[in-house]
Amino acid sequence: MRLVVTGGAGFIGSNLVKFLLQKKINILNFDALKYSSNIKSLNIEKQNKYYQFIKGNICDEKKFLQLLRKFKPNGVINLAAESHVDRSIDNPAPFLKTNIFGTYSLLKASNTYLSNLDKKEKKFFKFIHVSTDEVYGDLPLNSKPANELSSFNPSSPYAASKASSDHLVKAWARTYNLPVIITNCSNNYGPYQHPEKFIPHTIISILKNKKIPIYGNGKQIRDWIHVRDHSDAIFKIFKKGKIGETYNIGASNQKRNLEIAKIIFSVLKTFNKKKNNKNFFHNVNFVKDRPGHDKRYAIDGNKIKKLGWIPKVNFEQGIEETVKWYLENKNWWSKILKNKYKLERIGKIK
């Protein structure tokens, strides 16, 4: 099997690439290496015969079509995206360009590539578009989790750009018969996540003896899944998913932001017993809430379970492993902070 993974140097992408390489799948990683990408996150030996990397932007349709024709993949998994909500509020333009026009370029190039394949190759080829639960928008506290038939109601420029890309993918399926599958996943966590995201930002703030920034009252609810489970789900969908369908990917871990911060604080205390006298609320800084901040996301993942997939990583275990990883890999995140951003200016929470 030969797969192109776009955005394969990002958080989810790098974890997915390593997951697929363990299965001896030939991977071409196509990534623009923007601020949230880190090629060192892959830790792949240069002589790995199953892996190759090409730097490029998904808006470059010509370059992407050329690599498709040369690499001859059985499928494309699109993870390339601008993804941080705070940044989309400050400057929506890059999100519209990458998430909408970039997806358009991939679809157009993939459709051209597919048109020149023989019947057998066409039958196997799939375009997997990885999206987010944020397209469904803010869910009332007493409502059921969003399922694949839930209407789109995006709140942020980021969510709107991803909703737009989802619609484009569906249109290419209907109009051009491109064999597509869309996935909408809940919040991911795990190793190699950029320090601006909520969980690593919380961990690093505590490690640097800085107060944990919490938007509003911290009661916003997110549905969390370990990135390893997400990678497993994407692969399962590629193998067994039905063309033209959408699959929600979630692990049914709805938790408030304040609760997550408490859990992380508690885990770090067990690793650093000398500071057990610290009080959690003395280390929290409640900051002005984000404009249009959604109160709750929740995913109904029953449909994908029919494919034989279930999440395997227990949330408490996953958080402990994640905290331990950031403790043991200070050089990785310190370099990002030193070279690109100061911690105090990093966006505070998805």
Q: Do residues 285 and 212 touch, judged by C-beta distance below 8 A?
A: yes
Residues taking part in catalysis: 133-134, 158
Cβ count near 141 (within 10 Å): 9
- Helical ranges in the chain per DSSP H: 11-21, 61-71, 85-90, 93-95, 103-115, 119-124, 157-176, 198-207, 227-240, 257-271, 302-305, 315-328, 330-339
Is residue 275 exposed (0-12), middle (13-18) or buried (19+ Cβ within 10 Å)? exposed
Q: Do residues 179 and 129 touch, judged by C-beta distance below 8 A?
A: no
Q: Who's near 6: CB < 8 A, 6+ residues apart?
A: 13, 30, 31, 58, 76, 77, 78, 79, 80, 106
Q: How far is the CA of 14 from the CAs of 38, 208, 257, 294, in angstroms?
A: 9, 26, 25, 28
Torsion (CA) 186, 189, 193, 198 in degrees, nearest 10: 80
Measured CA to CA, the distance from residue 12 to residue 188 in angstroms comes to: 8
Measured CA to CA, the distance from residue 195 to residue 201 in angstroms comes to: 5
